[in-house]
Amino acid sequence: MVYYALMGLFDRFLTNQTPQNGIDVSASVPFNAQQSLGSLFFGAQTATREQAMSVPAVARARNIICSTIASLPITTYNHFTKEYLRPAKGIMQPDPRIAGSAIYSFLAEDLLFNGVAYGIVLDAYSSSDGSRIRQWTRVAPNRVSYNTNALQTEITEYFIDNLSIPASGVGSIIVFSGLDEGVLNRAGRTIKAAQELEKAAEMYAKEPVPTMVLKSNGTNLTPERITRLLESWKASRATRSTAFLNADVELQALGFDPAKLQLNEARQYLATECARAVGIPASFLSAELTSQTYSTTVMERKALIDFSLRNIITPLEQRLSFADFVPNGVEVRWDIDDFLRGSALERAQVYEILNRIGAMSVEQIQDEEDLIR
């Protein structure tokens, strides 16, 4: 215990040095072929980030999951001392130029959408047990490529913007491996269908009636007269719903109106499908028309943690707990208690019980509630 305390104090005063005996975090990395199966099997059906974010249901799901993860407190747990400690600045604020929440929000998005996230080491310092990362930042997955061995079982080299990068130390890559192949791969067809439906809704918002044809029953009109006629028709429909046609012009309607196309029903269905694909309760996307009470909201927050957030938090926690970030015996954890805490009355009742049985002191309760002593 004294060793780790002294080591942490010593690290604070270390100057930037060239890492020696660094931990090789990228050479011979196991290659997870599942991350590329979407493109392999579905080809053009794999969606892009731009397509996904143009679908309101997917955009809201992304913002709920990623923004919540980025806003949760981060702590470190020492298994030797059984204490929770504030993490080093390299974890709290990886990139000194921007807030840490901005880094973790997009890392969470990369894991959600692509099944893998990347960072690059900006600065490192030497310690008694090897090179420790001091500063790093996110790298967009579309900037990263790699080479594999002949059997395609291991990654032998990484590239950023087609430039080879070192295997360890400053400039090396940090890989956060996800738990599946990513939403853009496994649900690309659903996302593209939802995007096309949004385009159809936009079209009918601009032209809120079936496709219309003005047919001349008299002489053929010149292109200039046709253009003026259509412009006059559109301008008139913007100011009044009643139209008048001369005997030589006939109105014909083609196609279906939005009611017959059931656009609202289709959009509701695809919003539910997007919620299933992302793994978020449909009620968070307003995709289910159900009544909400306080108790069901609390239960859904727990469901959001278990089925949506943990799938992203776990790869982040475990990668940040590697030896190139924290000493042996220390692990990084996301604190979800604040997200799941009940009302002030419920917390007071729990504290009263815990204090009465001797499980928590008044001082511990004050610390838990951030009360000034």
In the numeric block, which tokens belong to residue 320? 């940040």
pLDDT of residue 65: 95
**Residue pair 112/65 in contact by the 8 Å Cβ criterion:** yes
Contact 31/154 with Cβ under 8 angstroms?
Answer: yes
pTM: 0.71
Mean pLDDT of 148-175: 89
For 204, the token pair is: 């009918």
pLDDT band at 27 (very low <50, low <70, confident <90, very high): very low
Residue 85 DSSP one-character state: E
Q: What is the pLDDT of residue 12?
A: 40
* Strand 130-139, strand 116-127: pairing: antiparallel
Q: What is the mean pLDDT of residues 72-91?
A: 91
Place of tokens 């219309």: 212
Give the pLDDT confidence of 266-276 residue by residue, as tens digits: 778 888 889 99
Region 241-254: what's the mean pLDDT? 68
Question: What is the largest distance, in Å, between two alpha-carbon atoms of the chain?
Answer: 99
232 vs 9, which has greater pLDDT?
Answer: 232
**Region of poorest pLDDT, from 97-106, 192-201, 211-220, 294-303:** 294-303
Residue percentage of the chain with pLDDT more than 70:
74
Mean pLDDT (the chain) is 79
Return d(Cα 218, Cα 292) in angstroms, integer: 62
Among 115-119, 139-143, 196-200, 251-255, the minimum mean pLDDT is found in 251-255
Confidence label for 250 from pLDDT (cuts 50, 70 and 90): confident
Determine the pLDDT at residue 136. Answer: 96
* DSSP states along 290-310: ----HHHHHHHHHHHIIIIIH
